[in-house]
Amino acid sequence: MAQMSIGEVAILLGASYVAVLTLVRLMRRRRDAIVAELQTEVAAQLERKHIEKQREQNRKKRGKQPPSAAQEAKP
């Protein structure tokens, strides 16, 4: 290993470059996939929170109706 020719060093450097480049590409793809997954989860949580808030507002509106209106609303 101490006596490497210029050609061997060039091959080693080329292979190292390709390996690092490939690793960086794989890491970027994985990062993009994780970011997309997290964005989907956040969007779903926001949607659930929005729906829950609407339901709570509807419950409050029903509770504020006069008793006669609440009874008339029931079939």
Mean predicted lDDT score pLDDT of the chain: 89
pLDDT for residue 29: 99
Confidence at 63, pLDDT banded by 50, 70, 90: confident
C-alpha span between 24 and 13 (Å, rounded): 16
Cβ contact 36:29 at 8 Å: no
0.85 exceeded by pTM? no
Judged against a pLDDT cut of 60, whether residue 60 lies above it is answered with yes
The answer to whether residue 53 scores a pLDDT higher than 60 is yes
